[in-house]
Amino acid sequence: MKMIPISLAIALLAGCNSTTSTENQSATADQNTTADNGLICSREARTGTRFGKRTCRTQEQIDRQEEEAKRMLDSRGNNTGAQGGL
């Protein structure tokens, strides 16, 4: 009788362990380049869900978005306002 709960617990733990490796495999498989149109596809994490969002962009689009993000962060750092008081 004691063997049934023990074997059930082992089966559940083995099932939970196998899901992480398949997620890692699918994440690496999604980061591929399609040769016919030059798109680079990747799966991006989204807040509040386990499921990622797949986006496909060209290298030019990726570079442009990175530059825009850097520019935005730089301009945000320069807008600190006046320091000090009365």
The domain spans of the chain are 27-76
The predicted pLDDT at position 83 comes to 61
Provide the token pair at 43: 């799966």
Residues paired with residue 39 on neighbouring β-strands, in sequence order: 34
- Answer positive or negative: Cα dihedral of 56, 62, 66, 69: negative
**pTM for this model (two decimals):** 0.45
CA pair distance 48, 66, nearest whole angstrom: 24
Phi, psi at 59, each rounded to 5°: -60, -35
Does 13 have pLDDT greater than 80?
no
Mean pLDDT value of segment 54-65 = 95
